[in-house]
Structure 1
């Protein structure tokens, strides 16, 4: 052993061959420290052109005369590399001099994107973080490549490839080029469901925002796969089932797979429906001393025997809490306690009034609204500084702000205030576009082809006001409309509207021309949970001109009166449960209005509409019934053709504009009537086609008439009494990117000889 140690020592330069083991270990330890420790009096930096020596030394963290170990030198090299400015870095000790050799990354002269057609350069350059006149960094270039690839994936082009490359230039500069190879859209070929027993696959597909690829794939962007959209669709499915009596429904998972060719997605929702429940007993109780629950019992709307849904429960809780505030009782919280009865599939619901925490709103902070005024948002927040804090009111405020339609995103949250019993409400919004300017053409089966220009702004000058201007010209008429709405007059739910319209018609479809002007300001406000009242003033100007010699003598006599100006006051009451009712599958709309003419011309014009809609057969079939009518009565003077009712295809299908009703027996001129009534019954049902086509079928029956010309001036008028007509037909509904279209094919069941029937028309589809 001693011989071996002696050889080691000799190799290390020692002069002793006889030494103890302990001494040898001590000498070796001292030698290792000496070999790993460096002290430099000079630092030499080589290869740098743009980056100053001092900057490199700062990155390295080295000071002159400092003792450094080998590990410290390695750390210095890593720090220089981490700056992202150098392609290579060497740190070489040589005696008392430390040499740092670097190779700088080039500077980016220009960034180009090549091969892209589906996404513009301006769109892609916004997501590229590399910058011209900055140092090229390959790590950042790779990140930019991934970002561009992801942008294409969001467009459904998951097979698109992006390759970064650099083109060397003089003076250590490069052009950075991203070469894109675009692929076809990877669409959703199939959306299917497992575990659905109650609702058909086609019905559930209509719930989802995501759609299968169909014939309109070039226009519809919802047939490409998006994880965010699928997550939202899970919520839509959950809300759909919960609101229809399935409290245990869950989406267990969503399987997303690519086809073997990687050109389409297959999306499968695995569902667990659970059992359908109804409400059992519904009670209100109080755990607050001295608070009588009896007055709150009348506030609830949920009734035993109704299908379970969380929506009316939320509505009841809101109603109870508002009643408590109105009665001067603050810090009341409503707990819902549900007891299951599995045997009869009912849920007993108990609303329990419990003490809530005594917390107040310290202040409300609004951020992100660069255009919209703070007061517009504050009008939608149900609390003000100093009010008792109510989490439900905060959630409702977020929904009310979103309903404005001004913002792409709305977040309303509460955080701790300056004291424990105070909170600060943060309202963060991201503004979106609120205006549109459009030019185009339209088609109306009554008036023919027309050109249109339209300007709409739903947040005029950031005040939440609505402004619209429309100009249309068709073969037989021209129309100009202007509208202005202030939805929160005086900071309340009081809607001020100002409407102005000007229209002219020529004798394309009649033997006379008309000119009309209407100016009508109005105020609208709620009178109940589902009821709203509108009061208005109207100034009307009507004139009949260029009456053909062959026109009816009635029209000649009415035109002889010249231009007529009338003033009227009116109101309209509407009651609508289609969106706020407790039954998601049924709704009712009632509307009744009157205008009272005063001054030189006195009249009463009454109109009414009653409509109901219900979905049956697991919501596959929609049934609608609408009864509509009107009556015009003059106390002083008589009506003219510009005042009376006409029934176009919007009111009764199967007839031309003015195709039914009173007519001059000699000239066959349509004269309109002072009264009309029509009953419309229809159904809408699936055609068995894939839901992505957006096509459904329908059938309808219309029954009604228009009658009572009033003053006939001794002329013979036919069909002046109530002479009912009846038509039946089938419809094809087509949901398109430009709007829901309806194609009606009609057969008259009961018509008169002089009626002008129409076997086919195209309209915009509406509910009532």
Structure 2
């Protein structure tokens, strides 16, 4: 036994003396190295390299000719060579006084391809992987590519996807890299739940967020899949919704998404703490700047005592106060809102503190991600530029403007330290989205029958932020052509410029006994008077109207109209071509939360049009409209609407009005009546001749159907309409009376109707059906109980 122990010790000592070692790092294959401790490398020989220069291999070694080396040097050299990703195998062995480095180069990628992918095309997947053609193949990079591909599929809503890389050998140490993909089924959101919500139901909060539950129409949308970025955006949408509804203490405690791998669905749960709902008890403006009078700024504030607390109004007030004070010479002034809560009475006292802020300047504005949109389109949305005083409120305002453009999927505006303590760098990161649309429309209405249109529109034309639309349409009795152009920043200023060219041909139908061909165009300038809320549009329009009698195509006046005794003399008087040249202005006030589908806010307009700048028409037309929306029962989605509109037109000088210039009223203003079914009418020809004055009012409530799933997009409406059209032009009335006719319903007489309707936001476009029953009408009025309209866009 002692002899055996001695022999074993001798072997260990010998091994230690010779410094034998074996190293097998991670790679595509095994490797080894045997060196002698304290040996001297007289020379270094590189073998096995084909494409890689010998000098490149030697540059990564820590072993140098003429210097001693040990096991540590061999280990460091091996690690350095493998870290390059150029080699599949490396061996370092001593041979006499030389060190031999034997390498096996990684193969060159000849081609990268994908198989089995349908939902994501090859171009999209190639942007995800790092492996590329004519690059070295490495295991680490391939494994990273697999994970990146899986993440891309997860973001597209396919958590069951699998990816398997395949390597196909080619000649001359080249390989094809093939990713075999099983995309799997779409991983939908089975259920969205809310915990802690007492003031608003789950269904109401589901309408606030963008993520949707998978339903019958899930194949038409992508928002019913789990996306972590969308979930984060949903949390912000919930906060904004509660803050705008008065819940200043609202918090999201957690937002989780649990994946059930067996059924391949997600369960999303938001846990919230609503807090109390507050109203504003009082509002005060306090200034530490000696030359700023707080009382003079109270008119700028958008929050009033007695209102429900609204964080958006507070933010807008801060921005407006900041701009007003800056205009007074305080470029560095800051406005800080402070809220003092009265928990017992559930009120908030708001104080806006105006004080001198730190003197910091904008060093530069970096914009990233605008591959298509011109940089100046983004920069003009900022009220500050390089060299200006830095102000956070103006930065937040610019971010909101960029989001409202509709050009970008995501917008992020952040700041970083500049080259000096008083310098700030503004970083703008955007992700562009498609802004063009090729649309085909088809629909039906009880007025015009089958109608259709084709249009091409672009909201960001050539990346300049301009809107362009070209469209043609037609139906059983109509044809239309249009061209529209919008420039939101005319001559570099926040002044909108619009240009429209159009032609509309309307033939004789059940609602009119004549043909009309209208061709013209116009332009206008829109000036902001109070940010985005109050605007003034100044416009000019010129158009030619050609009214003809189908029974006598060449008729140009009353004397030529005897061929058609059923046509009103008032219309006969309007036969022929007439040129109208008019200037106009319109004031618009808009606080709607959504212009297309509003649920809260107020909209009002007042405008006048003067015709007589050349041409054949001479009149002054005045119109006004007001609409108010409010959520009556938020939990049930009931939105109330009150609307009123009216107008007056009068001929100027000795010129009389024509039928085409007067107001017409019918099914669009007071439902339950035909188009042009209300107002002055010729008793002989039974033709509507219009009136100089009108008014209409509507009370309406819209709500989603409680039983039918939301995926169907069905909602209902109940309404009550009232209105009247009266006072035809005296000269026009005399023409009728002196030519064997009589104008009836020329006095003010109230018409009223009640009804119910169905709205369907179908996959094929919006459809609308209204049933209305006239409660008050005149004997000569034309009624219409059912009205259908709608269309589609592909």
Question: What is the TM-score normalised by the length of structure 2?
Answer: 0.86
CA shift in 2, pair 1:9/1:626, >3 Å? closer
Deviates more, 1:224-233 or 1:178-187: 178-187
CA contact (8 A) 1:206 1:691 kept: no
CA contact (8 A) 2:444 2:788 kept: no
CA shift in 2, pair 1:473/1:740, >3 Å? closer
SS in 1 for 2:720: strand
Mapped pair 1:698 → 2:717: yes
Corresponding residue to 2:544 among 519, 541, 544: 541
CA contact (8 A) 1:654 1:757 kept: yes
CA contact (8 A) 1:220 1:737 kept: no
CA contact (8 A) 1:652 1:678 kept: yes
Corresponding residue to 1:676 among 683, 690, 694: 694
What is the CA-CA distance between 1:116 and the residue it aligns to? 1.9
Match of 1:21 in 2: none
CA contact (8 A) 1:466 1:486 kept: yes
CA shift in 2, pair 1:132/1:377, >3 Å? closer
Cα distance per residue 1:475-532 (max 9 Å; x no partner)? 2111112222232224333222222221111234443221112322222213345322
1:240-255 counterparts in 2 under 5 A? 240-255=241-256
Count of residues paired in the alignment: 750
CA contact (8 A) 1:551 1:669 kept: no
CA distance in 2, matches of 1:575, 1:145: 54
SS in 2 for 1:458: strand
What is the CA-CA distance between 1:347 and the residue it aligns to? 2.2
CA contact (8 A) 1:615 1:622 kept: yes
CA distance in 2, matches of 1:163, 1:363: 46
SS in 1 for 2:136: coil
Mapped pair 1:729 → 2:743: no
Match of 2:41 in 1: 40
CA distance in 2, matches of 1:580, 1:157: 32
CA contact (8 A) 1:62 1:76 kept: yes
CA contact (8 A) 2:680 2:744 kept: yes
Deviates more, 1:173-182 or 1:423-432: 423-432
Mapped pair 1:601 → 2:617: yes
Corresponding residue to 1:565 among 579, 601, 616: 579
CA distance in 2, matches of 1:675, 1:719: 13
Deviates more, 1:35-44 or 1:604-613: 35-44
SS in 1 for 2:405: coil
CA contact (8 A) 2:680 2:745 kept: yes
What is the CA-CA distance between 1:736 and the residue it aligns to? 4.5
Match of 1:20 in 2: none
1:327-726 counterparts in 2 under 5 A? 327-364=328-365, 366=367, 369=370, 371-509=372-510, 510-528=512-530, 530-548=533-551, 549-550=563-564, 552-554=566-568, 558=572, 561-579=575-593, 586-598=600-612, 599=614, 600-618=616-634, 620-635=637-652, 636-647=654-665, 649-689=667-707, 690-710=709-729, 711-712=732-733, 713-714=736-737, 715-726=741-752
Deviates more, 1:111-120 or 1:417-426: 417-426
SS in 1 for 2:220: coil
CA shift in 2, pair 1:722/1:464, >3 Å? same
SS in 2 for 1:527: strand
CA distance in 1, matches of 2:85, 2:524: 66
For structure 1, the residue ranges without an aligned partner over 5 or more in a row are 15-27
Deviates more, 1:393-402 or 1:246-255: 393-402
What is the CA-CA distance between 1:541 and the residue it aligns to? 0.8
SS in 1 for 2:576: coil
Deviates more, 1:542-551 or 1:621-630: 542-551
CA shift in 2, pair 1:757/1:560, >3 Å? closer
CA distance in 2, matches of 1:496, 1:35: 84
SS in 1 for 2:190: strand
Cα distance per residue 1:257-276 (max 9 Å; x no partner)? 23363322111111111112
CA contact (8 A) 2:63 2:73 kept: no
Deviates more, 1:515-524 or 1:430-439: 430-439
CA distance in 1, matches of 2:5, 2:121: 75
Match of 1:91 in 2: 92
Match of 1:196 in 2: 197
CA distance in 2, matches of 1:54, 1:249: 65
CA shift in 2, pair 1:239/1:562, >3 Å? same
CA contact (8 A) 2:443 2:790 kept: no
Match of 1:23 in 2: none
Question: What is the TM-score normalised by the length of structure 1?
Answer: 0.88
CA distance in 2, matches of 1:627, 1:451: 31
CA contact (8 A) 1:410 1:428 kept: yes
CA distance in 2, matches of 1:478, 1:178: 53
Match of 1:187 in 2: 188
SS in 2 for 1:645: coil
CA distance in 1, matches of 2:302, 2:744: 52
CA distance in 2, matches of 1:328, 1:452: 54
What is the CA-CA distance between 1:718 and the residue it aligns to? 4.4
Deviates more, 1:195-204 or 1:424-433: 424-433
CA distance in 2, matches of 1:451, 1:579: 30
CA contact (8 A) 1:594 1:604 kept: yes
SS in 1 for 2:401: helix
What is the CA-CA distance between 1:379 and the residue it aligns to? 2.8
CA distance in 2, matches of 1:102, 1:688: 73
SS in 1 for 2:588: strand
CA distance in 2, matches of 1:13, 1:400: 78
CA shift in 2, pair 1:291/1:447, >3 Å? closer
CA shift in 2, pair 1:666/1:171, >3 Å? same
What is the CA-CA distance between 1:408 and the residue it aligns to? 4.0
Deviates more, 1:336-345 or 1:218-227: 336-345
CA contact (8 A) 1:442 1:452 kept: no
Mapped pair 1:762 → 2:789: yes
SS in 2 for 1:642: helix
What is the CA-CA distance between 1:56 and the residue it aligns to? 2.8
Match of 2:164 in 1: 163
CA shift in 2, pair 1:46/1:478, >3 Å? same
CA shift in 2, pair 1:552/1:83, >3 Å? same
1:94-243 counterparts in 2 under 5 A? 94-243=95-244
CA shift in 2, pair 1:647/1:38, >3 Å? farther
Match of 1:17 in 2: none
For structure 2, the residue ranges without an aligned partner over 5 or more in a row are 21-34, 552-562
SS in 2 for 1:178: strand
What is the CA-CA distance between 1:90 and the residue it aligns to? 2.3
CA contact (8 A) 2:445 2:787 kept: no
CA shift in 2, pair 1:340/1:675, >3 Å? closer
What is the CA-CA distance between 1:211 and the residue it aligns to? 1.0
CA contact (8 A) 1:558 1:640 kept: no
CA shift in 2, pair 1:36/1:610, >3 Å? same
CA distance in 1, matches of 2:386, 2:90: 60
